[in-house]
Amino acid sequence: MTNLFDLTGKTALVTGSSQGIGYALAEGLAQHGARIVLNGRNPQKLQAAAKALRADGHDAHIAPFDVTDPDAVMAAITKIESEIAPIDILINNAGMQHRAPLEDFPHDKWDELMKTNLDSVFYVAQAAARFMLGRGHGKIVNIASATSELARSSVAPYTAAKGAVRNLTRGMATDWAAKGLQVNAIAPGYFRTPLNKALIEDKKFTAWLEARTPAGRWGDLDELKGAAIFLASDAASFVNGHTLYVDGGLTISL
C-alpha cells in the first residue's frame, strides 16, 4: 500500500507548465518520482522551469509546441515517445482567460479561448492515447474548473469551455476505460496564479471570494499537487470519468 502513490519510472507530459498550475502539478509529480516533460510555446520560459526542477534533483525535459495545432501536437507526441520516453501520464493543463461582457465578447477571442481551453484537450489526449492504448495503460488528467459547475459574469465562454472539458473527460473515460486508461479531471477553484492576477489585485473580489468560500481564502498551488498525484498513480486504478473539485468548498455551498 505504501507504493500506491509512487510514480518512479513514469513519464508525465504536462501542457502549459512553464508557470502557475501547470508547473505546480509537474513539480508535484516529480516529487513522487516521475520524469517530467514540460510544454508551452515559449522555449526560454520552459528552459527556466526545467532548470528549476533539475536543481531539485528531478528529471525534466521540455517540449515546446502549440497545443491548438493538431499536426504539431501529433508530431510532438511522437517525438517525445521516440526520443524521451513513452508517455504514461498526461496532464492537460494549457489554458487562457479573457474577460468581457458577453454581449461585447470578441469573436476572435471566443475562437482563441475555445481552441486553447477545449480543442487542445482533445488534440493532446487523442495523440497520447494512440500510444497509451497500444500499451494497455495510461493516465490522462484534464484540468477543468469550478466554472465547469458554476458561472460568473464576464467569463461565459470560459465557463462553456470548462463545462465541455468535464463532459469530454467523461466521454474519454467511456471510450478508453476498458482499454486500460484512466481519464479524470481536476477542477480547481480560485488559486493564486498569473492567470488570476487581476482578480487577486481586486480587493473587492478577494473579499467576496473569502466570504463565499467555506475555507475562507484563496487556494495555494501546492494544494493541487495531491489531487494530481492521486489521479496519476495506481491509487486511482478504478477511478474513471471523475471530476475532483479542489476549491475549498466553493461549489458545495450557498
Divide the 254 residues of the chain into consecutive groups of 10 and give the mean pLDDT of each group: 89 98 98 98 98 98 98 98 98 95 97 98 98 98 97 95 98 98 98 88 96 97 98 98 98 94
Residues assigned a catalytic role: 158
Task: Say whether 60 sits in a helix, a strand or coil.
Answer: strand
Q: Which of 153, 170, 164 is nearest to 120 (CA)?
A: 164
Q: Which of 44, 9, 38 is nearest to 24 (CA)?
A: 38
Distances (CA, A) of 88 to 5, 8, 19, 96, 216: 14, 11, 22, 25, 36
Chain centre distance of CA 78: 20
pTM of this prediction exceeds 0.85: yes
Q: Which of 16, 196, 14 is nearest to 94 (CA)?
A: 16
For 88, half-sphere exposure in the C-beta direction (CA atoms, 13 angstrom radius) is 17
pLDDT (0 to 100) of residue 28: 98
Q: Which of 253, 156, 159, 152 is nearest to 212 (CA)?
A: 253
CATH class entry, domain 11-249: alpha beta
Give the DSSP letter of residue 219.
Answer: B
Cβ atoms of 4 and 30 within 8 Å: the answer is no
165: which 3 cell numbers? 472539458
Q: Which secondary-structure segment (H or E) carries 142?
A: strand 138-143
108 CB burial (10 A radius; 0-12, 13-18, 19+): exposed
Cβ atoms of 191 and 218 within 8 Å: the answer is yes
Q: How far apart are CA 59 and CA 50, in angstroms?
A: 9
pLDDT (0 to 100) of residue 1: 56
69: which 3 cell numbers? 495545432
Cβ atoms of 50 and 61 within 8 Å: the answer is yes
Per domain, the residue ranges of the chain are 11-249
pLDDT (0 to 100) of residue 194: 81
Buried b (16+ CB within 10 A) or exposed e, 124-149: bbebbbebbeeeeebbbbbbbbbbbb
pLDDT (0 to 100) of residue 2: 67
Q: How far apart are CA 28 and CA 224, in angstroms?
A: 9
